[in-house]
């Protein structure tokens, strides 16, 4: 039994299918933070520290902006996976074109509105005057990569929806490799500083776009049908795409707010607490990257089975992904318990920060087991385009759990902050479980809104 459904133990074929989708995305996820690490490592060897500060500020700004537009990948994945399940080649191709047009319009709006957007973002981050000037130079170069970055989200989502997670691995690896080589050339070779880092990232993003389009052309040979051109110029034809992405945007904005609020409240306590919490959040990044692999497998697999109205395959895919997610969550908990302090030691040698981080490390031990359900259920909801439920889950989590608990636990200082943060993940998982049971009883998975 799995939450009221009689489901047989997943077959070896299903486990293999889930793993074939999951492992490339796990490796792809690991490559994501490498861009920032490479950028920081290169400018960190320059004599002038403002370049390192400028890259940190600028990269954080663009990470936040692009994370907010992550709905382009998630929304595309769910809609395309269902089209694959229905054997709807026309819909598959048209969704790619619509997604790319939608992403391009958003990116061009960012370019046109770059002055107020970047000025507001940089002022909000509040760097010192010399760092602000260099960060502005960095940002006004990076902004022209928006079309490539956003269209790449759509391309990656389209491939995941088409049950192909290896191409995203190839693309992200290529982008990181080009970024690394050009960082060395532009910064250490030409002496361009932070501007060189921005230029390297810009070229790498467009290299990824060109490579992505190449793989798209090859994949289209395997997709029957043709693009319905009349659906590309009618605004009402984008209704499903806009509806799905609207809910995902609000959900992501709430998630960003929760993390930003957690960070800002730590900063209000002390600089040492801020630094310690930042180190501990790196563990959450590892958790996310590992468990998201199975979430992506759920997006692709569940979307496909939902589109085909294959109920047995759908629940078997959920069961298999749940098993492996739990196995990895247990492995992460054990790893953090045994080696967490040693990992912290690699990240800092500041005694005060190390002492605080070690004191709060037990919160990280339990986080994989607490967060595993929310990651998995996000994948199921994305694949079936039940994105309104994802929005509701985050509204419940932030407005009725996270913020009220923070208010109540303020006297506990950083302990209260971590208690609030952890219980927010509990609430997110329980709310997701509620919607899973509800949609299972109503068979909503096979009849999207």
Domain ranges of the chain: 1-30+245-449, 44-233
Q: Mind listing the pLDDT tens digit for each residue in 364-382?
A: 999 999 999 999 999 999 9
Q: How far apart are CA 287 and CA 430, in angstroms?
A: 19
Q: Span 392-405, mean pLDDT?
A: 97
Q: What HEC string does 359-403 produce?
A: HCHHHHHHHHHHHHHHHHHHHHHHHCCCHHHHHHHHHHHHHHHHH
Please, is 188 exposed, middle or buried when counting C-beta atoms within 10 Å of its C-beta (0-12, 13-18, 19+)? middle
Q: How confident is the model at residue 4 (pLDDT cuts 50, 70, 90)?
A: very low
Q: How far apart are CA 294 and CA 96, in angstroms?
A: 23
Q: How confident is the model at residue 30 (pLDDT cuts 50, 70, 90)?
A: confident
Q: How far apart are CA 449 and CA 344, in angstroms?
A: 45
Q: How far apart are CA 205 and CA 178, in angstroms?
A: 9
Q: How far apart are CA 427 and CA 255, in angstroms?
A: 13
Element (H, E) at 69: none
Contact 83, 91 (CB under 8 A): yes
- Mean pLDDT: which of 104-108, 349-353, 443-447 is highest? 104-108
Find residue 2's DSSP bridge partners.
5
Ranges 232-246, 275-289, 388-402: which has the least confidence: 275-289
Q: Which two tokens stand for residue 344?
A: 């912290």
10 Å Cβ neighbour count for 43? 25
Contact 184, 42 (CB under 8 A): yes
* Residue ranges in 227-348 assigned as alpha helix (H): 239-269, 271-307, 311-347
DSSP three-state, residue 5: strand
Which pLDDT value is given to residue 283?
84
Q: Where are the beta strands (DSSP E) in 169-228?
A: none
Q: Taking the model in full, what pTM does it have?
A: 0.89
Which pLDDT value is given to residue 7?
65
Helix 50-68 and helix 239-269: axis angle, to 10°?
140
Distance (Å) of CA 371 to CA 175, 248, 340, 367: 30, 19, 18, 6
Q: How far apart are CA 333 and CA 331, in angstroms?
A: 5
Helix 271-307 and helix 351-359: axis angle, to 10°?
50
């Amino acid at each position: 039994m799995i939450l009221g459904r009689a489901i047989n133990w997943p077959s070896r074929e299903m486990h293999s299918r889930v793993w074939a989708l999951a492992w490339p995305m796990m490796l792809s996820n690991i490559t994501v933070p490498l861009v920032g690490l490479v950028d920081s490592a290169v400018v960190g060897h320059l004599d002038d520290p403002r370049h390192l500060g400028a890259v940190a500020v600028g990269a954080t700004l663009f990470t936040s902006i692009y994370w907010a537009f992550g709905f382009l990948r998630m929304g595309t994945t769910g809609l395309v996976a269902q089209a694959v399940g229905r054997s709807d080649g026309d819909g598959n191709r048209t969704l790619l074109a619509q997604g790319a047009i939608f992403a391009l319009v958003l990116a061009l709006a960012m370019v046109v509105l770059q002055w107020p957007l970047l000025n507001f973002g940089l002022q909000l981050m509040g760097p010192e005057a010399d760092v602000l000037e260099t960060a502005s130079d960095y940002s006004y170069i990076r902004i022209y990569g928006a079309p490539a970055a956003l269209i790449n989200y759509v391309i990656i989502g389209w491939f995941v929806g088409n049950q192909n997670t290896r191409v995203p691995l190839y693309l992200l690896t290529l982008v990181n490799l080009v970024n690394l080589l050009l960082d060395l050339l532009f910064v250490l070779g030409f002496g361009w500083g932070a501007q060189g880092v921005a230029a390297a990232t810009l070229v790498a993003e467009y290299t990824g776009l060109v490579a992505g389009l190449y793989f798209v052309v090859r994949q289209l040979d395997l997709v029957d049908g043709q693009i319905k051109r009349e659906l590309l110029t009618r605004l009402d034809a984008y209704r499903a795409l806009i509806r799905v992405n609207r809910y995902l945007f609000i959900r992501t904005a709430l998630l960003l707010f929760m993390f930003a609020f957690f960070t800002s409240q730590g900063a209000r306590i002390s600089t040492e607490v801020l630094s310690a919490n930042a180190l501990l959040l790196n563990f959450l990044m590892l958790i996310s990257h590992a468990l998201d692999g199975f979430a992506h497998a759920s997006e692709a697999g569940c979307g496909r089975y939902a589109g085909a109205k294959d109920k047995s395959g759908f629940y078997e895919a959920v069961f298999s992904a749940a098993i492996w997610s739990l196995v990895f969550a247990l492995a992460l908990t054990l790893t953090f318990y045994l080696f967490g302090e040693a990992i912290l030691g690699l990240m800092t040698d500041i005694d005060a920060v190390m002492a605080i981080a070690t004191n709060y490390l037990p919160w990280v031990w339990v986080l994989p087991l607490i967060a595993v359900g929310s990651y998995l259920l996000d994948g199921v909801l994305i694949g079936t385009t039940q994105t309104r439920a994802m929005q509701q889950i985050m509204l419940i989590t932030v407005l009725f759990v996270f913020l009220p608990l923070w208010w109540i636990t303020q006297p506990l200082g950083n302990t209260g902050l971590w208690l609030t943060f952890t219980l927010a993940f509990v609430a997110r998982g329980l709310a997701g479980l509620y919607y899973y049971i509800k949609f299972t009883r109503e068979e909503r998975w096979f009849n999207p809104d």
